[in-house]
Amino acid sequence: MPQTPAKPAPVPQHAPGPQSAPGKLDGTSARHSSGIGWSRTPRIVAGVAIALIALGGTSVAAVVADLRSQVEVSDVSGLVVGAAASAPKPKDPDDPFKDMPVNILVMGTDYRDAATIAIAGKDEGGGLRSDTTFLVHISADRTWIEVVSIPRDSMVSIPACKLPGGGTARARDLNMFNGAFGAVGNITGKGPEDLTYAAACTLSTVVENTGLPLPNHLVVKMDGVIGIVDALGGVQVCLPEPIEEDKRYGSLVLPAGPQTLNGYQSIQYVRARHGEGLGNGGDLDRIERQQGFINAALRQALAGETLANPAKMLPLAQAVLGSLSPDAALADAANLTGLAFSLRGIDKSRIVFRTVPNVPWPQDHNRVIWTDEADELWARLAADQPPADLTPLPPPAAVTPSPGTTDVVAPPATAPGGTDAGATDPAATDPAAGTPVAPAAPAVEPSLPPGTCV
């Protein structure tokens, strides 16, 4: 149904369907066609970028400040339409992220130049490509992060988008989501401002279809990925079965079992779609595998204390920053310092991954449409509410009073969503004995994603 600019962020053509299962750093859940699209390799960059932002603390901020000259700022001022223009004002003008929920749209491009043709092959379609896009939501209380993948084959509305050099690309009532990055073929990638306009069109599209304000974004470049993974010392995956990519598409061959992938192998792993051990060849299977790879990369960084080791951190930060174009707020070292510091103690089990709930589009099963559960997801994130199955916050540590002092019982901590983390659930108390019993297990137990090492 056509949408007017005055209509507040409708979500086009939904279908009833099940909520996609979430994924966590300790376990994740979860198609591809011709046309405008982009590489899967930016997921590696973005995953490490999330780690840098969320887990690096002040050491990351110091490195970022030193390497600030490497960052190419993506300024979309005046180009994004919709709710982004009416985003909430920062509570502290000197710190735009302080005490605020943060939404960051991560986009990427594998536009082929001389440096990237050797990695991904010659670009036969021409122009800009983008289909690995996901939204990172950081809660205002900094106790959880949710990363939502947007399938490239989603059928959504694309608003009218401004074009480099003047002019406007017409709105599309229903189009593949990955068409937004090139304004449905109108942005070629040959001009110096093309990436900025492409990012703005994608931001406008997500704003229109979700209703979420998106003042912050990252554009991820394809080159630099090899350096990121190699700076980590490789990324370990555990394969349940051998992988042998169809030779018409690539040359990836991996045996079953634990593998440590170098940078080039990692690119092949997240790009591969056709062959043995790669699922049914669809984008959703690949998204699931890519989310698992990001989990593995994050755990690799944490387990090896990479982000706390300056000798390892410097080459990693150089590779990451050389692969990103953030908005001005994220590019500011002081802002990033505050955001990183506020996330220094986050529990990695409370960083969750999921895919926008979807079902096959009836008119073409190679495309998907979002279900009603997608509306619920966006509304929940807009209200900064955590998912129901999020790992609970641990209870506050008991304090042993000194001899001769009076015991003081501290009030229970308040958990996300306004509930007392330390409160006793009446349903979990034995009415006869009056003693707490173990709470019931969560209704949904997240499954491990493909390639996850237990």
Assigned CATH class of 23-224+325-382: alpha beta
Q: For position 279, what pLDDT does the model report?
A: 84
Q: For position 414, what pLDDT does the model report?
A: 44
Distance between CA atoms of residues 99 and 340, nearest Å? 13
Strand 145-150, strand 351-355: pairing: parallel
Segment 27-57, tens digit of pLDDT: 433 333 333 333 444 555 555 566 655 544 5
Segments making up each domain of the chain, as ranges = 23-224+325-382
From residue 31, how far is each of 140, 225, 307, 421 by CA, in Å?
33, 22, 34, 40
Residues of the chain with pLDDT under 50: 1-12, 18-19, 21, 24, 26-41, 55-56, 126, 407-446
The two three-digit tokens of residue 169, written as one number: 């690309």
From residue 394, how far is each of 123, 344, 387 by CA, in Å?
50, 16, 16
Distance between CA atoms of residues 218 and 432, nearest Å? 56
